[in-house]
Amino acid sequence: MIDIKLIRDNKDLVKENIKKKFQDEKLPLVDEISDLDKQIRELKLEGDNLRQERNNTSSEIGGLMRDKKIDEANEKKQRVVEINQKLIDVENEENELSQKLREKMMLIPQIIDETVPIGKDDSENVEIEKFGDPFVPNYEIPYHADICESVGGLDKDSAGRTSGQGFYYLLGDIARLHEAMIAYARDFMIDKGFTYAIPPFMIHSNVVEGVMSFPEMEAMMYKIENEDLYLIGTSEHSMIGRFKDQIIKENELPIAMTSYSPCFRKEGGSHGLEERGLYRVHQFEKQEMIVICDPQDSMDWYNKMWKYTVEVFRNMDIPVRQLECCSGDLADLKVKSCDIEAWSPRQKKYFEVGSCSTLGDAQARRLSIRAKGENGTYYVHTLNNTVLASPRGLIALLENNYQEDGSIKIPKVLQPYMGGKEKIEKK
């Protein structure tokens, strides 16, 4: 949610930003918000004037009573009653318009960073840099589900019976490898100075509204029936929500945390679910990182954070690239975002395994997260980044470490988490 002052002082900037995101249908909202804001400020002024009149009138009543001017005193009392009723009407109207204003403000996209490439959708995202050499061996790389099944590591048929499409059982060494990756990512981030956390896996609706836009929520999140609770789609949601309505001491910034959670997503729409594979599923696990910082430090943190993900994947012998998200691919709360994509030697292309974003003060304004320093209070900036999400990370590891004899080489950084095992043999 942007600062209302931007619309008061620079409507053209806000409208231009909307055009850059190819959301022209939202342009009328800017003028509607401006009109509502004007009405609310007029009501506030009217309310202040009424309160001042009530105070003055009330103070006059005592003097009139002392002077035994009973009729005049009663007229003043009646006027106080009228003012009180008028104040109720004014305050009710102000609250009603303020709610409408907030609902419309929630639809206005955050002002994107000037470095964001302009484009309509993810087809116009821009490759920035590659890390590691993409390699295609001279033998065939099977589909990742087939690799898992060849070592007795995947059962989707049983999951279909227990839970339906989009779920899976990981078994044996594949399940262990999956958890080894998450554990390694956790320890990697702890070594970088991040505080480890395991957050709640369900959050209230007012936290959901604070961390993401309504269209995202509808597309992603599962609601618990008859409860004001949603299953998290990523631990960023509950990690940022932890600081809701808090004022943080400036000397405590930055707050850098890494969190583990299962994640739950509808994954509806055009993408659909994979019948056999593990790329797009309802349930997965993730190691996440979040940072809450001073506004002037957010871009420095953004550049550090996505590089951590690159380092994690390169340490597992997986080539990756950074892909800058264009304006039309940015969610409304994001200022700047990039995807980290891993190389698929089977498909001979890259695929997304993580995303890093700075949201400016958008989440902080929605959730009222502020810092207090020598110059007063201000809204902090929030950032989030995927350290490692699996099974997507697992797919990348399997394809890039699959051997001609059907075995899977285990990267050295993961071997301590696998009991020293160096490879998984085909069964």
- pLDDT per position as a tens digit, 90-107: 999 999 999 999 999 999
For the entire predicted model, the pTM comes to: 0.89
Distance (Å, whole) CA 101 – CA 32: 9
Instruction: Evaluate if residue 275 carries a pLDDT over 70.
Output: no
**Same domain? 128 vs 99:** no
What are the C-alpha distances in Å from 247 to residues 17, 242, 283, 368, 377?
A: 30, 12, 34, 8, 8
**Same domain? 69 vs 128:** no
The answer to whether residue 115 sits within a structural domain is no
**Same domain? 98 vs 170:** no
Parent domain of 335: 122-424
Question: Per-residue pLDDT tens for 27-37?
Answer: 999 999 999 99
CATH number at residue 203: 3.30.930.10
**Same domain? 402 vs 290:** yes
Question: Per-residue pLDDT tens for 137-167?
Answer: 999 999 999 999 999 999 999 999 999 988 9
Residue 24 · residue 54 · CB < 8 Å:
no
**Same domain? 408 vs 305:** yes
Question: Per-residue pLDDT tens for 286-324?
Answer: 999 999 999 999 999 999 999 999 999 999 999 999 999
The answer to whether residue 111 sits within a structural domain is no
Q: Per the structure block, which two tokens stand in for 190? A: 């702890």
The answer to whether residue 349 sits within a structural domain is yes
- Which helix (H) or strand (E) segment holds residue 381: the answer is strand 381-390
**Same domain? 61 vs 161:** no
**Same domain? 156 vs 295:** yes
Q: What amino acid occupies position 122?
A: D
The answer to whether residue 273 sits within a structural domain is yes
**Angle, helix 11-20 to helix 27-66, in steps of 10 degrees:** 150
pLDDT of residue 68: 83
For the chain, what is the domain count?
2
The answer to whether residue 117 sits within a structural domain is no
Q: Per the structure block, which two tokens stand in for 145? A: 């589900």
Q: Strand 230-231 vs strand 169-170: parallel, antiparallel, or unpaired?
A: unpaired
CA angle 385, 390, 391 (to 5 degrees): 140
Distance (Å, whole) CA 11 – CA 31: 8
**Same domain? 29 vs 147:** no
Instruction: Evaluate if residue 269 carries a pLDDT over 50.
Output: no
**Same domain? 406 vs 356:** yes
**Same domain? 208 vs 344:** yes
| Strands, sheet with 230-231, edge to edge from the N-terminal-most edge strand | 202-203, 230-231, 222-223
CATH number at residue 18: 1.10.287.40
Q: Under DSSP, is residue 315 helix (H, G, I), strand (E, B) or coil? A: helix
Give the count of beta carbons closer than 10 Å to the beta carbon of residue 364: 24
Q: Under DSSP, is residue 305 helix (H, G, I), strand (E, B) or coil? A: helix
**Same domain? 146 vs 73:** no
**Same domain? 199 vs 66:** no
